[in-house]
Structure 1
Amino acid sequence: MEQMSGLITELQQYYSDFGAVAADPSLLDRLYDEDVIFCDPVHRVEGLPALKRYFAGMNGGLTSCRFEFDRSVMGGGSACLPWQMHFSHRQLNKGKPLTLRGCSLLHYRERVYYHEDFYDLGAMVYEQVPLLGTMVRGLKKRLGGAGS
């Protein structure tokens, strides 16, 4: 168990400065299995080379990105990691900082072989586009008030 909690700690340290991916994607070799499956609300990628390309592409518009992790839950080769992502992107919110809450589900042995991120894509992207953002926020408000 100590080795596995070490893996999760190393993964959290890695994501605490996500910009390091662009500088040295080989860091992923220590964390992820060669046959890793990575899923988020936007993509599903299979294999470590594809994951490296995906992360490198994500860094294209980011001016900063870091994760803060809340208390994680681990057991039986799985971990649930709640987080807050603090980021700035040239095309979102006029480049000003944004915060997004989410959670990662990991399955691992020696390294992570399955990683799925859960977050509100609307909060990340759609609400930051001027006209579309107004519509999405209005819809959320109406749906939230429907049960009142």
Structure 2
Amino acid sequence: MSTPEALLARFERFYSSLDESRLAELPEVYHSEIRFIDPVKEHQGLKALDAYFRQSLSTMSYCYFVITDLQHNDRQAYASWNMTYAHPRLHRGRVLTLEGVSQLRFAEQRIIYQRDYYDLGAMLYEHIPLIGPAVLHLKQRLQ
């Protein structure tokens, strides 16, 4: 029987160096009925999650996560993380970092629910020519 600690170790290992070769490990981490929600879209089921990761990773130069804090009980966990990534069309392909939090729920020794919270503007919009300066200007005005 898998413990939450073992499952979270698999989760952390999976995201420590995320590329298409790691996607074979999805069934070890995620339940077949996974509900995955992030600021971009919601995905239902392992097949949909695999397709989402494949599409996302195919456009990135690289991507990895460092878990900075992890709180859990037997049914759920909250993971704070830093994502480091590079995309050729964002910020001239330079390395970018994004902070976020994932809410995780467990079923049958797998993650059945994941909701990611992060600033989509900081991840994407701020790094697009013409749009980026406008987004940053709006953020400054709101402070």
TM class, shorter-chain normalised? over 0.9
Unmatched runs of 5 consecutive residues or more in structure 1:
none
Alpha carbons 1:61, 1:91 under 8 Å: kept: no
The answer for the alignment partner of 1:18 in structure 2 is: 18
The answer to whether the aligner puts 1:129 opposite 2:119 as a matched pair is: no
Aligned to 2:97: 99
| Counterpart mapping for 1:136-147 below 5 A | 136-144=135-143
Amino acid across the alignment from 1:49:
K
- Deviation of the 1:3 alpha carbon: 1.2
Amino acid of the residue matched to residue 142 of structure 2? L
| TM-fit CA distance, 1:76 | 3.9
- Relative distance call for 1:70 and 1:24 in structure 2 (3 A) is closer
The CA RMSD over aligned residues, in Å, is 1.3
Q: Which amino acid aligns with 2:17?
A: D
Residue 24 (structure 1) shift: 4.1
Question: Is this contact kept in 1: 2:4–2:74, CA < 8 A?
Answer: no
Deviations along 1:11-30, one digit per CA (max 9) or x if unpaired, are: 011100011xx114220011
Structure 1 range deviating more: 2-11 or 51-60: 2-11
Helix, strand or coil at the partner of 1:59? helix
TM-score, with normalisation over the residues of structure 1? 0.92
- Where in structure 1 do 4 or more consecutive aligned residues deviate above 2 Å? none
**Contact between 2:62 and 2:85, CA under 8 Å: does it hold in 1?**
yes
